[in-house]
Each structure stands twice: as C-alpha cells, then as structure tokens.
Amino acid sequence: MSPPPTQHAQLQELAYNALNHYFRAHPDLTPEIEVLPPAFEPTDALILEDGANLGVPKKILALAFVHARRLFFAHHKLDGFTAQTTTHDATRVMLLFDPEHLTAANSRKRYLLDLQREDTVVEALHAERRFLDSILTSPLHRQSKSPTLWAHRAWWSDMLISRLSCSDWGIFFTTELDAAIKSGERHPKNYYAWQYARRVVEKSGEWLSGEEFEDFISECAEKVSRWCMRHVGDISGFSFLMYVLGRVSAPDERARVVEEIVTYGLNVQLANESLWTFVRMALASGLIEEAMKNNMLRELGKCGEEQNGESRLFSARLSETLYWIAENEVVNDSPRMEDGIWDFK
C-alpha cells in the first residue's frame, strides 16, 4: 500500500488540477496568460480568471509544474487514450513553466503524429495553434522568446499548411505573421519571433501564387513599418522590415515605406540608433531608386543644417547617417542581397 501524499504533494496536485481544469474548460479559446506578482495574487482561489484571460501566481505555477512532471513521466510510456490524454495535458503546464522543456515539446509532436483520422488531426492542429498563441503572445517573458517553442511552431506550421485548402493559405500566413509581430511586442528585440516571421515570408513564397504573394508582401511591409514607428528602439523589427522591403517588387512602394520612416524620424527628431541604422541601410543599399533617394538625402541634409544645437544627439545621428551613406552606397542599379542580408563594398 502506497503511503498517503504529503501536504506539499497535495498542494501540487491542487495547483495542477486548477490549471488543467481551466484549460480543459476553455478548449476553443485563446487565453492571455500572465504570471501574477505577489501584490496581485488572489486570496480566495489558486488562479485568477477574467473571461478568457488567466492570471497564475508564480508559486502556484511552480507547484503545478512539479505535479505535471510527475504525471508525465508516470504515463508517457503507457499505451491507451487515458495515458495519452494525461501526458498531453501535463505538457501544457510543463511548457507554461519551463518553455525549454524539449521532452515536453517533442511529446506534443508525437501526440499529433499518432493521430490516425485526418479530421481529428486537423482539429488537434488548430487546438495546438490556440495553445501556442496563448503561450507565445501572452505577456510571459521567457515563453515569448523561447527557441524551443518557436521551433515547435515551425514544425507545427508545416504539418498544418499541407492540410489546408489553397483558399486558406493567405489567411494562414497572415495569422502567423500577426502572431510573430505580437510576440515581438511582448518581448523587445525578440529575434526568435522575427526569425519565425522571416520563415513565414519564405514559406508564403512557396505556397502562394505570384499575385497573392505580392499582396501578402505589401501588407506585410505596411504592417511592420507601422509597428517599427511605434517601437523605434527595436532593431529586430527594423531588420525584418529591411528583409521584407527586399522582396517588394514595386520601387514606388519601397520608397514610400522608407520615406514615411525618414519623415517620422525628422518630425519627431528621434535619435534612436536602430531607426537611423535602418535609414542608412535602406538608402545606401540601392533598394531605393536614385531620384527618390536623392530627395530623401536632401531632406536629411536640410534638416541637419537647420539644427540649432538643442538636439545634439539627433544632429549627431543625422551627420553619421549622411556620412555612412556617402561612404557605403551601392552605385549600380541592382542591390546585392543574399539570404536577406545586404552586401556592401
């Protein structure tokens, strides 16, 4: 006869059951999850529910993780529906606490691969998207920048896209791009999210028709440029925008996006290095046609001459930008780019 569980083990089980019950009670929702600081911990419940949103005290999440891990390793080698479901539920809590738990992530892959009926697989893949959206786009510091979770999402996306009809491909890529952008907002300089966004762009070129791809890239450039102007200190976003502009075929559209950012930086007198790094790369790379580029350079030079010393750092950024462009600009009409990286002499 096994000994009765200790009080601490009982607390672990209660914490796990509270979290697992919440997830099982909202299978069709994408909750926003937040780890609560001590000042906001609920006094009459283990977790805090607000509609589709979930607040979890850190100590409760830690207790739940211990019990989830215990369940996982007790059932992951067993056969049968109950054992499979128990293991799958446990991985949800495990990854919520430890996003780099590779064994838990791989178990979720095996769960999807083991499903036999096609309609069941598609339904489970959509459920996996809701889980990944919750954990990657919520205000969770470690999870939103987890290489393990983003790699799992890349694997999942390949499995789902092959099962969608061609009419759904555009919506799929737009949704995936939005998820990466939102995650970039949750965690500044989230290069794992932006790298996934690059992958989305590459995959869209493989699956969408020429016209659909052009529309998607134009929407992407517009959306990301707006994001960058709201987050002018995030070099990862600007780097992705540079990558996207390299795939925009219309010269006028490329110039318009760059000009909007130049105008915004001049009007607000921004001194953020990430913004001016983007401007000098865009203007020096040959990405913008000569006449449009010269108009922007004239505006930069004129603004630099009008500075009266009140914004020294802004003036310094303008001077550095103009000097760098003069030293590094591509003189031929064809910019050289390989794998999204511009090659300067």
pLDDT tens digits for range 53-66? 899 999 999 999 99
pLDDT tens digits for range 114-130? 987 777 899 999 999 99
Phi first, then psi: what are they for 341, rounded to 5°?
-115, 125
pLDDT for the residue 40: 80
pLDDT for the residue 309: 54
Query: What angle is formed at CA 333 by the lines to CA 329 and CA 336, rounded to 5 degrees?
Result: 70
pLDDT for the residue 310: 56
- The pTM assigned to this predicted structure is 0.90
The separation between CA 161 and the C-alpha centre of its own chain, rounded to angstroms, equals: 18
pLDDT tens digits for range 227-253? 999 999 999 999 999 999 999 999 999
Q: Where are the domains of the chain?
A: 1-133
Regarding predicted confidence, which is higher, 331 or 156?
156
Q: For 1, which DSSP code?
A: -
Tell me how far apart the alpha carbons of residues 178 and 173 are, in angstroms, rounded to a whole number.
9
Per-residue confidence band for 176, with pLDDT thresholds at 50, 70 and 90: very high
Per-residue confidence band for 139, with pLDDT thresholds at 50, 70 and 90: very high
Tell me how far apart the alpha carbons of residues 225 and 241 are, in angstroms, rounded to a whole number.
7
Per-residue confidence band for 308, with pLDDT thresholds at 50, 70 and 90: low
Percent of the residues in the chain that have a pLDDT greater than 70, as a whole number? 92
pLDDT tens digits for range 199-215? 999 999 999 999 999 99
pLDDT for the residue 285: 85
pLDDT mean across residues, the chain? 89
The interaxial angle of helices 147-161 and 191-207, nearest 10 deg, is 10
Per-residue confidence band for 254, with pLDDT thresholds at 50, 70 and 90: very high
pLDDT for the residue 340: 41
pLDDT beyond 70 at 1: no
pLDDT tens digits for range 71-111? 999 998 888 888 999 999 999 999 999 999 999 999 999 99
pLDDT tens digits for range 21-48? 999 988 888 999 999 988 787 878 899 9
199 three-class SS = helix
